[in-house]
Chains A and B, each alone.
Chain A
Amino acid sequence: MSVGCPAVSVTGLYKSFVDGNEQVRVLENLTFTLPLHHSTALVGPSGSGKSTLINILTGIEPPDAGAIRLFGETVSHSSQKRWSQLRGQCIATVFQDANLMPTLSLANNIRLRAQLAGTSDANAEHWLNLLGLDNLGHRFPDQVSGGQRQRAALAMAFAMRPALLLADEPTGSLDVATARQVADALFHHQQDTGCPMLLSTHDPVLAARCDTTLSLMATGLGDP
């Protein structure tokens, strides 16, 4: 991983699905870079391929064509093993929901994520406090509110000290006030650590808070 390189560099990315007899092109010749220390909003209508792009960037689905470089490392053809390493240690992913192990307390979820990332000093309380979840560490995910759950998911992501944070509609299921708290936490973290962040969202206000915007069209043509 070379310092100075963009966090993400994507060139000529193609991805299509077969839906019935029809081939649906989701991403077509997509090229973009995510600079270091920047937050980027990923916007576009439903079905424009936002989640697909995040999946490709986490190695969960392979692209049909195109080159992907993470911090200068070409990962387009990396093995699943390498992708597991990347997901475990470098890339934090936050989904709209179900980011936590329901059988573990919030603190233990954070410790588990840190353990998987190989971060030894998993001070769960620290991260929980940081996200305003003081004294909630012993609670289980179903014992806290949706907003608290999502902040706990962020705490998990932060605790692994990621090199790249990918958030897929992290506030999508929250009310406005809670969504704002979660978004604040994300941007504070981004500003504090400089960790590059790709934030997929429908919310224009949220998108506007990002440094740059990557807009996916329904046609699949990307923004230059």
Chain B
Amino acid sequence: MTGFKWHWPGFVARIQTPTWLVYLLIGAVTACSETSSLDSSFAGLGDIAEEGFRQPSPRDGIELPRDMGPHPDYRIEWWYLTANLTTAEGTPMGLQWTQFRRGLQPPTANDPGTVDHHWPLDTIWMSHAAVSFDGRHVFEERLARGGIGQTGATAEPFHVWLDDWQLSEGQNGHWELSAGAGAGDWHYTLRIRPQRPIVRHGQNGFSAKSVDGQGSMYFSFVDLAIDGTVTIDGQTLAVSGQGWFDREWSSQLLKAEEGGWDWLALHLGNGDKVMAFRLGQEDQPFRSATWVAANGEVETLSANQFTLEPLHRRKTSAGTVPDQWRLTIPSKNIVVAVTVPPGNYWNDGVFPYWESPVAVSGSHRGTGYLEMTGYHR
């Protein structure tokens, strides 16, 4: 998952950003949001009732294939893939694809449907694609309004698309993903094969995001076998490796003061998988983790069952970010350093965040992905 979604409101708060897009988005949100005040909707996870949108709860449960599709009753959700791949020569490559949905107003009963002159603005979709390779990091962002067919998602068949980018279920239950920056620039086409059943995070898929019980519905495919081609720098490379796929939805938005978000998903050499996140202030962050054993055993770890601390920071053009983390899970004998390879991994979109592949060393070796928000200045 990604903290990015928690941060989505953040870009709305950054109204000084003089981009046309943000101007319009503010206008749109102001005009269309059921909640009269934007501030109140971001004021706190627990305080506000997202009027009209459903709140996630442990009772909801997670069901497939239903929950691969969209949840318009919830305000926000995303489909999120990270992949740690290698080329035929063995050079590591990181790859990301994410699609977000942001409801501006809850669905109404009398939806007119798609009409050839109608341009509704009820939902904004956003899709991100990035490739990290050989010290380089390329990123592309797409946006679109929902409701006209330009973008959307369906559970059966599984299909998530925006413009010509799409993740769809192909033959044999494989998924196919294609995205990129358009002809002549970089793009990728991947075949994705889930290797294990889904992992439900937290309590039956309800993942707490604060001590007072707010949270989201969250499940993952933690073990994906991936192969395909990536075209970058004028060459087309055959790649293969493993990936991680998150589905998460909620109606709650991050407390403005909770700012930072650090999330990582690791593939350990012994087949174990770990997801851990830190949310909020440096001194008192909310922490949670999921440990998945190679045999499929799943354990949700609370704050006192693991540690996650920055070890080293890196100065970048857009701020200082932790580029090395120390993760310990005493009960699993895990004491590892999670290190970002050299480079600059900002996803410089409407609102920027850090998204980088990582290498794991220490008690275990492995690879994974790190996402951080709240560090960009």
Q: Do chains A and B touch in the complex (CB under 8 A)?
A: no
Q: Which residues of B contact A (CB under 8 A)?
A: none
